[in-house]
Amino acid sequence: ATGLGLPESEAELAFEGALRPQSLAEFVGQEKVRGQLQLLLQAAAMQNRTPDHILLAGPPGLGKTTLAMIIAHESGRPLRMTSGPAIQHAGDLAAVLSSLVPGEVLFIDEIHRMARSAEEMLYLAMEDFRIDIMVGKGAGATSIPLDLSPFTLVGATTRSGMLPNPLRDRFGFTAHLEFYENHELEQVLVRAAALLELNVERRALAEISGRSRGTPRIANRLLRRVRDYAVVKGSGAGLDAVNAALELYDVDALGLDRLDRAVMQVVLSRFDGGPVGLNTLAVSVGEEAETIESVVEPFLVRIGLLTRTPRGRVATRSAWKHFGLTPETPGAA
Ligand code: ADP
């Protein structure tokens, strides 16, 4: 498994689809965000208008797509799904926007990756439900205004900091999704285990939760690997099976995966605890800086292994301890 929290296969996508909670009430955790969304949707329903545009921000696998589906479902509106990388030109966006039915929810995943020209078109669309379509070239070019049906944009991003301010400002509400607590992941797993018809011991579920990087998608994925192990070995899904399966897949006691460990090893061993700049770090582990910053680091920071300083990333005392290393230069930890 890559720890990136992205779906890896058709089978996983199908499993995720089946697992997705349909309502805010079924959505585990994220108390604050749920309350905020509830109020926003209810107010819109009472006044019979389309809900404000909503931005969902947070690392992969925390439930952004699921929430977009719930928003559409709870407000009884159809949902159109697309993604930033699919919108390479303003024309791609114009085609989507002009075909929306009144009140539709438009979900744009990875909205920070949309083409710049499309972003500008989106400003006007979000504000006035209108776009200007350019026809012709050079001196004869004119723009034709086109009215759109009112819609609710739900944008998802792993990097809200990457969004230009004019775009960010046009969302009525930004929901920041947090990593999940272990007891919340256990709830997610109970549901997934039922779907897999897998009888998992309670303490085995607790163990999986503790190694899931605070991420429901990863919890569900690890559960499937435990299922595989139980099937092949003919063992039950107890604590021993969990430990053996997770060891096989290189998931350590803190839930760190290969990339997490590679990043920590570079900071600890190659740079003696840091500080290390983001780009140096990215090159050293052969990943994109964006992935390091939006996927790997948030979790390492949250569990207290890494801190971000103006001079770069620095390993904490617990990081040295977790990896069984000691700093070479006095005071480096
Ligand atoms: P994102 O869009 O943020 O990458 P998804 O919405 O695709 O994440 O969620 C990934 C998987 O985790 C899905 O299978 C989803 O059902 C599950 N999941 C995410 N959040 C929750 C939650 N709060 N409760 C239950 N399942 C969740």
pLDDT digits (tens, 9 = 90+) for 104-138: 999 999 999 999 999 999 999 999 999 998 888 88
Residue 19 Cβ contacting ligand 1 at under 6 Å: yes
Distance 188 CA to ligand 1 centre (A): 9
227 is in an annotated binding site: no
- The residues assigned a catalytic role are 64-65, 109, 158, 217
Residue 62 Cβ contacting ligand 1 at under 6 Å: yes
pLDDT of residue 162: 82
Residue 29 Cβ contacting ligand 1 at under 6 Å: yes
Residue 298 Cβ contacting ligand 1 at under 6 Å: no
pLDDT of residue 1: 43
Distance 65 CA to ligand 1 centre (A): 7
DSSP conformational letter for 82: E
Helix or strand holding residue 324 (H, E): none
313 is in an annotated binding site: yes
Residue 217 Cβ contacting ligand 1 at under 6 Å: yes
- Report the DSSP pairing between strands 312-315 and 306-309: antiparallel
Pocket probe mutation, ligand 1, options 8, 66, 69, 176, max atoms within 8 Å of Cβ = 66
- Give the distance between the most distant pair of CA atoms in the chain: 75
Distance 27 CA to ligand 1 centre (A): 9
Give the tens place of pLDDT for each residue, 39-82. Answer: 999 999 999 999 999 999 999 999 999 999 999 999 999 999 99
pLDDT of residue 331: 52
DSSP assignment string, 170-200? T-SEEEE--PPPHHHHHHHHHHHHHHTT--B
CA atoms within 13 A on the CB side of 317: 2
Pocket probe mutation, ligand 1, options 217, 221, 299, max atoms within 8 Å of Cβ = 217
Distance 91 CA to ligand 1 centre (A): 31
**Rounded to two decimals, what is the model's pTM?**
0.90
**CA quadruple 137, 141, 144, 148: dihedral sign:** positive
pLDDT of residue 4: 64
Q: What is the ipTM of this complex?
A: 0.99
Residue 111 Cβ contacting ligand 1 at under 6 Å: no
- Extract the residue ranges of the chain whose pLDDT is less than 50: 1, 332-333
Distances in Å between the Cα of 249 and the Cα atoms of 1, 163, 222, 223 are 7, 35, 9, 12
